[in-house]
Structure 1
Amino acid sequence: MIIIFFCSFLILFYSYAGYGLLLYIMVKCRRILSRRRVPAGVLPELTLLIAAYNEEDFIERKIANTQELDYPAGKLQVMIITDGSTDRTPEIIRRYPAIRLLHEDQRNGKTAALNRAMEQVTTPIVVFCDANTLLNKAAILNLVKHYEDPRTGGVAGEKKVIAGQDEGAAGMEGVYWKYESTLKRLDAELYTVVGAAGELFSVRTALFRPVERDVVLDDFIISLRINLMGYRIAYAPDAYAMEAPSFSITDEHKRKVRISAGGFQSIVRLKALLNVFRHPVLSFQYISHRVLRWTLCPLCLPLLLISNAALVWMGAGVGYSIFLAAQLAFYVLAITGYWLAGRSVKIKVFYIPFYFLFMNVAIFEGFFRYIKGRQSAAWEKSARSMAAVS
């Protein structure tokens, strides 16, 4: 029981705090040994590829945002793919002749749509962006400057979740992404971002390889396969996509379960990355930042509680009793947060433990969905509180 207790605790601590601390120390040492400078050069031609599915309520706002981007018009091509959309999204886009529209009535999923669109891209750089996000004016400029480094195969932008005043528990998505953004900065400074977010990332067109049609996390797979080719994924925190949080905790739950199912699929498809002898730094980052959270951490939570309770029952010492009391208090806060979330009451002290537990429960659900083969790659549109995005 002592071994189970300490192994569970150490895995959880390392995954959620220890890795970040170790990464910070390693990056500090790297800064002493070398200074990485990104030189300014000639701006390349690029394609901004936007995936849109039934976005008639937001697409005009997205197009207006695209037209305001600070990048030479002659070097920026805008392409929007709307495969499977059944609303007025394609009709609205046709009003803008400068935008290239790709549309098929058949719905094959976002991955299939991106594969089809990439066959039409002729520029050396392609920037992927979701239709329900708004970019800061200098986003494209801040992405492309990193391609002056020939080792850079892709550049990940930052996702910012903009929560309104009454977003409730779903607003904790923003807290989570702030934490993730910090880790991404450190990951990129050590070597590479471990998996780009589809809201905003770019790649060298020549390095793109078509992704299997059943892939759920296309952005994750695309960026890590570029890593396997020997290139790094840089991080541009000054290029960001603003997105509202999920409309409700129910919508966020559906999204998290889908991402979790895709995470297990990705681990299988990217099994070469588990070989730390072949890819020492990349595998270290990948396992520490991603694999542990999707595999061992959800298992360690109940194991830590059960082993702790058993040790207290066996009279192992007062320290275990204090730790058990802290664990029980955490779960009480999380359950209270769940109860409040159902009533749209916003008290942040309950939301952090609730959201942490909520994410790990979603991983269990995603795992069973994956092994049963029930997770479709078909395009899924999440309801979001777009009024929060300014």
Structure 2
Amino acid sequence: MKQLEIIFWVLLFFVFYAFLGYGMFIYIWLKIRRLFKKDLSKNEQNFEPPVTLMIASYNEKDYLPEKVENSLALDYPKDKLRIVFITDGSDDGSPQLLGSYEGITVHHSYERQGKIAAINRGMRLIDTPFVIFSDANAMLNKEAVRSIIKNYKDPKVGCVAGEKRIIKKTTDSASGAGEGIYWRYESALKKMDSELCSVVGAAGELFSVRTELYEPVEPDTILDDFVMSLRITLKGYKIAYEPGAYAIESASASIKDEMKRKVRICAGGLQSIVRLKPLLNIFRYGTLSFQYVSHRVLRWTVIPLFLLLLIPINYALHDTYGGLYTFLFIGQLIFYGAALLGWYLENRQLRLKVLFIPFYFFIMNLAVFRGFFRYVRGGQSVLWERAKRA
């Protein structure tokens, strides 16, 4: 039974560390480091190199007028900002609609091979030193381009990750509210990651790369933005985080849509771990490997399994010792009971805000199991249909 106790506390430690402990650790680490390290950053002005804003879209005609208007309104010299849409496979009239706008370049192929195949094709046509990627349904703040590009004054920066923001609505579903909370926490972690060493992967809603560092990504890659950005760190560059550049989009329209999105991400996460094997070598990549394992690998691999194992192990310890183990077991029952109640009420369009966090935490970890089996079966197509947004 003593061995079971040890196993319990080890599993509990890793669960706590993956979701909260890592953030607490690097927060303290950075506080201490700032005491001995002066801030040498400067407010650089007049850095306005040519930039391409690339939007790869598939059958997103409904979003395009707003996206075009948003892109043309960005605060950057018009003669230095090229706006390019890649609409491969779209048959909803997207290419024709985009072709009616001045200042917009459209590259279209009738063959649909997936987003990353479209980006790979589009990158061969780019001649600017920097490229900013964004999604058709994500709206950027006016200063986004300037805020991103200023980071490239540092020659060590090879990629810049913008911030993803979820529109908060009073009518949001539990999954939508949970997604908003999750991304606020992720943004805080990314800011600390960037200061410590490097952001661990960029989100496709808004990120940028040095064109010369881009290398074509395998066409069956699920998380193209994640793999694309981290391969730049393998070349010795860092991913900077720029909260002054943000993309705004609505939350998923329903539990079904959010689960669909999460399962795809988890399947892609496992694929990414395999394709980014060198990053697991802490002797070569040091702090970056530590960040990668702590922030990403644990969540996409063992942590959901640890959560599952904690339930029967905790029950056995409660049955034998009582006391603290009983308290923790009751706590688990209450937490998962709240998550299941949140799911039940959400399916009936009834919402209690107190249930949002346990509900979202539950579906986030359930998606890892489903994503694992989908990845093992090879069932996640790169030609996925975007989850509906509210």
Report if TM-score (shorter chain) is over 0.5: yes
Decide whether aligned partners of structure 1 residues 312 and 379 sit closer, same or farther in structure 2, where only a CA change above 3 A counts. closer
Distance 2:52 2:385 in 1: 24
| Aligned 8 A contact 1:11 1:296 in 2 | no
230, 242, 252: which one aligns with 1:246: 252
1:10 corresponding residue in structure 2 = 13
List aligned pairs for 1:24-39, cutoff 5 A. 24-34=27-37, 35-39=39-43
1:322 corresponding residue in structure 2 = 327
AA in 2 matched with 1:293: R
SS at match of 1:73: coil
Deviation track 1:319-354 (CA, whole Å, cap 9, x = no partner) reads 100111111000110010000111122211111101
Runs of 4+ in 1 over 2 A off after TM superposition: none
333, 338, 351: which one aligns with 1:346: 351
Decide whether aligned partners of structure 1 residues 30 and 234 sit closer, same or farther in structure 2, where only a CA change above 3 A counts. same
1:204 corresponding residue in structure 2 = 210
| Aligned 8 A contact 1:12 1:297 in 2 | yes
1:281 maps onto 2:282 in alignment: no
SS at match of 2:283: coil
1:364 maps onto 2:390 in alignment: no
1:380 corresponding residue in structure 2 = 385
Deviation track 1:256-296 (CA, whole Å, cap 9, x = no partner) reads 00000000000000011111111111000000000000111
| Aligned 8 A contact 1:140 1:239 in 2 | yes
| Aligned 8 A contact 1:38 1:149 in 2 | no
Offset at residue 317 of structure 1 (A):
3.5
1:74 maps onto 2:82 in alignment: no
174, 179, 183: which one aligns with 1:177: 183
1:119 corresponding residue in structure 2 = 124
84, 87, 101: which one aligns with 2:92: 87
SS at match of 2:119: helix
Offset at residue 97 of structure 1 (A):
3.2
List aligned pairs for 1:176-195, cutoff 5 A. 176-195=182-201
SS at match of 1:74: coil
AA in 2 matched with 1:164: K
Number of aligned pairs? 384
Distance 1:222 1:29 in 2: 32
1:23 maps onto 2:26 in alignment: yes
AA in 1 matched with 2:14: I
AA in 2 matched with 1:347: L
| Aligned 8 A contact 1:81 1:113 in 2 | yes
1:47 corresponding residue in structure 2 = 52
Offset at residue 36 of structure 1 (A):
4.0
Offset at residue 379 of structure 1 (A):
4.3
Q: Give % identity.
A: 52
AA in 2 matched with 1:302: L
Q: Which has the higher contact order (CA 8 A, sep 6+)?
A: 1
SS at match of 1:86: coil
Offset at residue 155 of structure 1 (A):
0.5
1:145 maps onto 2:153 in alignment: no
The two structures have a TM-score, normalised by structure 2, of 0.97
Distance 1:154 1:85 in 2: 29
AA in 2 matched with 1:295: T
Distance 2:33 2:208 in 1: 26
Offset at residue 369 of structure 1 (A):
0.4
Distance 2:312 2:114 in 1: 41
2:269 corresponding residue in structure 1 = 263
